[in-house]
Amino acid sequence: MYETILVPTDGSKVAEHAVDHALDLAETYGATIHTLYVVDTDAMEMSLSSEQVDRIDDGELGQFDEIEEFAERATRSVAERAAERGVDVVERVVSGNPHQSIADYAEEHGVGMIVMGSHGRSGIRRALLGSVTERVLRTTTVPVLVVDAGEDDD
């Protein structure tokens, strides 16, 4: 039923809950896990001057390298957990708008299901912080399993 399951990660506890569910599904269906970290270039650009953005794009500043290293650690963690359970995994780090990059990746790779965590924010926190998961739900035609953050996570 599900040959390929996409589990985006940002290295957070919320994402770890989603990884648990994705791995359970992958074991059940014999699926391959694709783990994806999206470096949010829109957010980076908003916090940097235009000169800093140009220098990062030109490879002169190491800030992007540090973010990319963190992203690779986050996807490697998923890959290690998958290997422990005998699940095949593909790791990817991409740059762009998170929700659109997730939806595009799912479409381009024939993903059967996306498994994502959610903080379950409401009110002003949701309005100010937004929800990548909610935006993915609105953007993709792929089924999305939304995993609650759990009681002890904020």
What CATH number should be reported for the domain holding residue 49? 3.40.50.620
- Reply yes or no on whether the pLDDT at 145 is more than 70: yes
Whether 97 is covered by a domain: the verdict is yes
- Three-state SS string across 30-77, please? CCEEEEEEEEEHHHHHHHCCHHHHHHHHCCCCCHHHHHHHHHHHHHHH
The order of strands in the sheet holding 113-118 is 89-96, 32-40, 4-8, 113-118, 144-148
Whether 153 is covered by a domain: the verdict is no
What range does the domain containing 75 cover? 4-148
Dmax over Cα atoms in the chain, in whole Å? 50
Query: Tens digit of pLDDT for each residue in 48-78?
Result: 445 545 555 555 545 566 788 889 999 999 9
Nearest to 6 by CA among 126, 96, 133, 151: 133
- Reply yes or no on whether the pLDDT at 97 is more than 70: yes
pTM of the full predicted structure? 0.81
Number of domains the chain contains: 1
